[in-house]
Amino acid sequence: MTIRAAGKLCWFLLQVGLNVGLYFFTVAFVPAQKKRLARARWLHMAATRHLKIFGYSAQLSGAIPKKGFLVSNHLSYFDILALGATTPAVFVSKADVRRWPLFGWLSSLAGTVFIERERRSHVGAVNREIESALAEGALVVVFPEGTSSNGETILPFRSSLLEPALRGGHSISTAWVHYELPGGDAKQEVCYWGDHSFFPHLLNLLGKKSVRGTIRFGSFERTTDDRKELAGQLQAAVEKLKTGN
User: For position 237, which CATH number holds?
Assistant: 3.40.1130
> Residue 244 — pLDDT band, cuts 50, 70, 90?
confident
- CB-count exposure of residue 244 (10 Å: 0-12, 13-18, 19+): exposed
The domain of 57 spans: 3-243
The Cα–Cα gap between 143 and 44 comes to: 18
Q: Could you report the per-residue pLDDT of 63-99, keeping only the tens digit for each?
A: 999 999 999 999 999 999 999 999 999 999 988 888 8
Q: Which of 8, 106, 3 is nearest to 55 (CA)?
A: 8
Q: Mean pLDDT for the chain?
A: 93
Report the pLDDT averaged over residues 224-239.
Answer: 96
| DSSP state, residue 57 | E
Number of structural domains (the chain) is 1
pLDDT at 102 over 90: no
pTM equals 0.94
Strand order in the sheet with 211-220: 56-61, 211-220, 172-180, 68-72, 139-142, 90-94, 113-115
The Cα–Cα gap between 181 and 218 comes to: 25
- For 6-20, 107-121, 125-139, which range has the lowest pLDDT when averaged over its residues? 107-121
Number of Cβ atoms within 10 Å of the Cβ of 170: 19
Q: What percent of the chain has pLDDT over 90?
A: 80
